[in-house]
Structure 1
């Protein structure tokens, strides 16, 4: 099993480049940055993680700028979004940002995506909450067209553009892997339909390991094998028993969460995680 770390990059946390270099030196396979463009002051949408929204959600930096910094000081670690809110972004511009990062990192990008949970945040970007899943799929397909075609066009219900020239193209053939976040069965179904993997969060009131066999059966019925749809799990707990459970279940990657703190707190935690993972 592969291991990654995730953090909300803020102006009061360890710098992305410092963390990236430290994580790579300790043998972690991937580094994950989430995003929120903003948090509306109304706070009408409930956070799926509990009653109180952590301050880091208000303060998180842009993941692609942060990963550009990380790419400049590393050579192996995968640069991942967990998650990128594609529904709130222009697909033509996002295709360029992702391809640029893939070029600058020599093909180390993994694009983790999701439709999000904050209705007011989406609406401030002009995104209809009720149509977010359809919008997400079309934006992914539009980006893939841009990444793979010299003269790309896309015509859907939500995304529509005539032939365009757009460079750079990603280093990775076909574009970076796109991993779908979300629960079961909705997120799992979307991953099977058009993703390169499934990325659920542990500890959200359901047992992920109980659903993995169902997920793989659903994938098989769609003629997609396990090698096409590896599972990445964001860990709620950091203990040996949990790691063994996920490894025995055939999970591809386990991602540990780090708090938005400075080096003096984060680096010792990174050491403990590396030891726990046997890196």
Structure 2
């Protein structure tokens, strides 16, 4: 089981390079950067965490920029979007972004994606909330075609383009893993349909369910779709500092757990990472 860490990387947190180096030095496998292009002032959409939306959601930097900085500061650490809002990004440009960062990092990119929850944010990008899931599926399918074909083309309800030529192609073959975030059953079904991984949240059982119940259901869903569960491993976000629970995750067959770090400077973050380094050692 691998260990990762997620942080809202902002201008008053640790720098991406400093955090990435600290993670790599302590035995972490991956760094994850979330995304919000902006937060509309209307605030119609409720935040899944309850209460007021934390300020870091307004302030977070672009994940492709921060992860490129992290890539330059490390040699083995994997770099993940946690998660990229594909419903708010042009698929042709996104395909090039991912392929480019996979190239400059030497094949270390993990393409975590989601369909999004903030209706007014995506509406500002011209995305209809009701049909966002199908839009994301088509964009992911189109992106995979651009990554893997010499002259890709795509014809869908929302995404359409004729034969094109687009390079670079990713280092990873056939392409970087698309790891789909979302609750069971809808997020899990999307992962089973077009993903190479699933990201449930452990920290919100009221919304996302108990992972010890949903992960076996996800494995059954994969088998029902004719897929080997090993082809779509689970990454749990929001893991807590508890060795017994981490051991249960490992025994459940979880591929990776990721801790959510505060958007803060070294004096706050590094002691947390030191505690996690010991947990990583204990978990083997």
The alignment's TM-score, normalised by the length of structure 1, stands at 0.98
- More moved, 241-250 vs 35-44: 241-250
Matched, 1:121 2:124: no
1:151 match: 151
Shift of 1:267: 1.3
Q: How many angstroms apart in 2 are the aligned matches of 1:251 and 1:186?
A: 19
State how 1:1-279 maps to structure 2 within 5 Å: 1-204=1-204, 205=206, 206-278=209-281
Deviation at 1:62, TM superposition (A): 0.3
Counterpart-to-counterpart distance in 2, 1:112 and 1:120: 22
Alpha-carbon distance, 1:51 to partner: 1.7
Mapped contact 2:238–2:260 kept (Cα < 8 A): yes
Q: Deviations over 1:76-127 (max 9, x none)?
A: 0100010000010000000010000000000000000000100000000000
Could you say what secondary structure the match of 1:125 adopts? coil
TM-score (norm 2): 0.96
CA shift, 1:236, in A, is 4.5
**Aligned-residue CA RMSD in angstroms?**
0.9
Structure-2 separation of matches of 1:10 and 1:24? 20
Q: Distance in 2 between matches of 1:273 and 1:78?
A: 17
Instruction: Tell me if the contact between 2:153 and 2:164 (Cα under 8 Å) persists in the aligned partners.
Output: yes
**Aligned structure 1 segments of 4 or more residues deviating by more than 2 angstroms:** none
Question: Aligned to 1:163, what secondary structure does the other structure show?
Answer: coil
1:219 positional shift: 0.6
CA drift of 1:237 comes to 2.2
Kindly tell me the number of residue pairs found equivalent between the two proteins.
Answer: 279
Looking at structure 1, the residues matched to 202 and 36 of structure 2 have their Cα atoms a distance apart, in angstroms, of: 20
Q: By how many angstroms is 1:203 displaced?
A: 2.6
Structure 1, 161-170 or 118-127: larger mean CA deviation? 161-170
* CA-to-aligned-CA distance 1:19-73 (integer Å, 9 cap, x gap): 1111011110010000000000000000111122111000000000001111111
Unaligned runs of 5+ in 2: none
The offset of 1:226, in angstroms, is 1.6
CA distance in 1, matches of 2:110, 2:203: 23
SS in 1 for 2:103: helix
CA distance in 2, matches of 1:158, 1:245: 42
